C-alpha cells in the first residue's frame, strides 16, 4: 500500500501508476507518474538516481521510455512501486511529489501514425442503419477483418485543448455549401500506444501484442457528421475527423490492467488464422460520457467484437511496420442499449431524438460552449478500480482565437 497520503484504495493507487508529461511553473516538459492526486517527478527521480532508465525518464516526451521495451518497463514499474510503497524511501521521494492541481499536463507522447478502427458491432450496425437504411446494417467484410483507416497524427491533442468547430463542405439539395459543421459529434474510444517498433515486412502476430504495446489512453475522436457524409466516398473520412482528436493525459500501462482481461464476444463466422487469439480476450473498461455535467452514456469496452491484439495483428499483417508513439484506437465504443452508445449520432439516432440534459436544455449535436468529458475505470487487484483518467474538450466557435 502506498504511503502517499490519500492515494491508497483510490483508482490511482500504487496498482495503477500511469505516466504523463507535465509542466510546472512554465518549466520544461518533464515525465511524471500519477499517484493519488499527486505526481511524482520522474525527471527529478532519475536525476537523483532513485530510478534508472538510461536517461529515458529525463526526456520531454514518453517516446524514449516507450521504446525501451517490456523488460525495462517492468523494471521501472517495480522500482516505482518500491519507492511509493516502502516507507524507507519516503524521505527521499516525498520532495519530488507535486500536487496535480499545480501542474499543466501536456500531450504525453509524440504521435507517429494514428489508426482508427471500427470494432464495435453495435456502433457499426447503428451507423449502417442510420446512413444506409436500405442495406444490411453490417457490410459483408465487417466480421472478417477489423475495419480501420488512418487518421491524422499531427492533430492529436491532450485533454483540455479547445476544440474549434471545423468548417467544411456539406451537401444540400442545391449543391454543397461551405460553413461551420452543423452536426459536430464525439466518438468515445480507447487508444493503444505502441512502444517497441516493428520492422517493415515483419507482421506482429496476435500473441506478441504485449511486446509492442505499452499502454492505454482514452480517446475522443471528434467527428463532423455533415462533412463526413459528403466527403467519404470512395476514400473514407478525411476532414470530418482530421481537425482534432483528444486523448487523456495519462498512459495507463498494460500491467495495470492485468485484472481487466475478460472473454471477448464469440466470433462467428470464425476468423482467419492470423486473427485467431487464444484465449480470445478483451478489456473490461467501463467508459462514461458526460455532456455539460450530465452522464449521457456508459459504453462498455468489454463488448468490442475485435480485440486489441487482433487489431495490431491486422494492422501489420501486410508488412506495415509500427513506430514508437503510434496510436491505434478502437473505434467508437457502443453497447446494445441506447444509453451505452459512444457517439451522439447514435444517442440521438441521427439527430432525430434529442437528449435532455440535467440543466434543462436539450441536445442533438454539439453546440458552441459544450463540454464533453469521457472517463473510464477498469477492475483492478483486490477489489480496487483502475482509473484511466479523463479526456475533456470544450467546443469553440469557428474562427475562435486558436491556441
Question: Which residues are near its own copies by CB under 8 A?
Answer: 112-113, 118, 139-141, 144-145, 147-155, 157, 164, 166-169, 171, 175-178, 199-203, 224, 227, 230-240, 242-244, 269, 272-274, 314-315, 317-323, 326, 398, 400, 402-403
- The residue with cell 449520432 is 345
To its own copies, the closest distance from the beta carbon of 237 in angstroms equals 7
Q: 204 by DSSP, 3-state: which?
A: coil
Q: 355 by DSSP, 3-state: which?
A: strand
Euclidean distance between CA atoms 110 and 390, whole angstroms:
19
Q: How many CA atoms lie within 13 A of 390 on its CB side?
A: 11
CB contact set of 208 (below 8 Å; sequence gap of 6+): none
- The residue with cell 441536445 is 363
Euclidean distance between CA atoms 109 and 327, whole angstroms:
10
Euclidean distance between CA atoms 122 and 138, whole angstroms:
10
To its own copies, the closest distance from the beta carbon of 150 in angstroms equals 4
To its own copies, the closest distance from the beta carbon of 301 in angstroms equals 20
List the beta bridge partners of residue 167. Answer: 180
Record the cell numbers describing residue 275, joined without a space. Answer: 486473427
What is the Cα gyration radius of the chain? 21
Euclidean distance between CA atoms 385 and 260, whole angstroms:
10
- The residue with cell 449502417 is 128
Q: 115 by DSSP, 3-state: which?
A: strand
Record the cell numbers describing residue 270, joined without a space. Answer: 470464425
Q: 72 by DSSP, 3-state: which?
A: helix
Find, among 256, 244, 254, the residue nearest to 161 by Cα: 244
User: Contact at 8 Å (CB) between 321 and 153?
Assistant: no
User: Contact at 8 Å (CB) between 206 and 310?
Assistant: yes
Which entry of 15, 24, 89, 123 is annotated as an active-site residue? 123
Q: Provide DSSP, 294-320.
A: EEEE--BGGG-SS-HHHHHHHHHTTS-
89 is catalytic: no
Catalytic positions, written as ranges? 123
Amino acid at each position: 500500500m502506498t504511503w502517499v497520503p490519500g492515494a491508497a484504495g483510490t483508482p490511482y493507487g500504487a496498482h495503477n501508476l500511469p505516466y504523463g508529461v507535465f509542466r510546472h511553473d512554465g518549466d520544461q516538459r518533464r515525465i511524471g507518474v500519477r499517484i493519488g492526486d499527486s505526481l511524482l517527478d520522474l525527471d527529478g527521480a532519475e536525476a537523483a538516481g532513485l530510478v534508472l532508465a538510461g536517461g529515458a525518464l529525463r526526456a520531454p516526451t514518453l517516446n524514449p521510455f516507450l521504446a525501451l521495451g517490456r523488460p525495462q518497463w517492468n523494471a521501472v514499474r517495480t522500482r516505482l512501486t518500491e519507492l511509493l510503497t516502502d516507507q524507507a524511501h519516503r524521505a527521499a521521494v516525498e520532495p519530488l511529489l507535486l500536487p496535480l492541481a499545480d501542474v499543466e499536463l501536456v500531450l504525453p507522447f509524440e504521435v507517429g501514425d494514428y489508426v482508427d478502427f471500427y470494432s464495435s458491432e453495435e456502433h457499426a450496425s447503428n451507423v449502417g442503419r442510420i446512413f444506409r437504411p436500405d442495406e444490411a446494417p453490417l457490410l459483408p467484410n465487417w466480421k472478417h477483418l477489423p475495419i480501420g483507416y488512418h487518421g491524422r497524427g499531427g492533430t492529436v491533442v491532450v485533454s483540455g485543448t479547445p476544440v474549434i468547430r471545423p468548417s467544411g463542405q456539406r451537401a444540400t439539395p442545391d449543391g454543397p455549401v461551405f460553413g461551420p459543421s452543423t452536426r459536430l459529434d464525439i466518438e468515445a474510444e480507447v487508444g493503444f500506444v505502441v512502444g517497441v517498433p516493428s520492422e517493415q515486412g515483419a507482421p506482429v502476430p496476435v500473441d506478441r501484442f504485449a511486446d509492442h504495446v505499452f499502454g492505454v489512453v482514452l480517446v475522443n475522436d471528434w467527428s463532423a457528421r455533415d462533412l463526413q457524409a459528403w466527403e467519404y466516398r470512395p476514400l473514407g473520412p478525411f476532414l470530418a475527423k482530421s481537425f482534432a482528436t483528444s486523448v487523456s493525459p495519462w498512459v495507463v500501462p498494460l500491467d495495470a490492467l492485468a485484472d481487466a482481461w475478460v472473454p471477448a464476444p464469440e466470433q462467428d463466422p470464425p476468423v482467419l488464422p492470423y486473427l485467431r487469439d487464444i484465449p480470445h480476450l478483451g478489456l473490461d473498461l467501463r467508459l462514461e460520457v458526460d455532456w455539460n455535467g450530465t452522464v449521457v452514456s456508459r459504453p462498455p469496452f468489454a463488448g468490442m467484437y475485435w480485440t486489441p491484439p487482433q487489431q495490431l495483428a491486422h494492422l501489420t499483417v501486410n508488412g506495415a511496420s509500427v513506430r514508437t508513439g503510434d496510436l491505434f484506437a478502437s473505434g467508437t465504443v457502443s453497447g446494445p442499449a441506447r444509453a451505452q452508445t459512444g457517439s451522439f449520432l447514435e444517442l440521438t439516432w441521427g439527430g432525430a431524438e434529442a437528449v435532455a440534459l440535467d440543466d434543462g436544455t436539450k441536445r442533438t449535436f454539439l453546440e458552441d460552449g459544450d463540454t464533453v468529458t469521457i472517463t473510464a475505470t477498469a477492475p483492478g487487484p483486490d477489489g480496487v478500480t483502475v482509473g484511466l483518467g479523463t479526456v475533456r474538450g470544450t467546443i469553440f466557435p469557428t474562427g475562435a482565437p486558436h491556441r
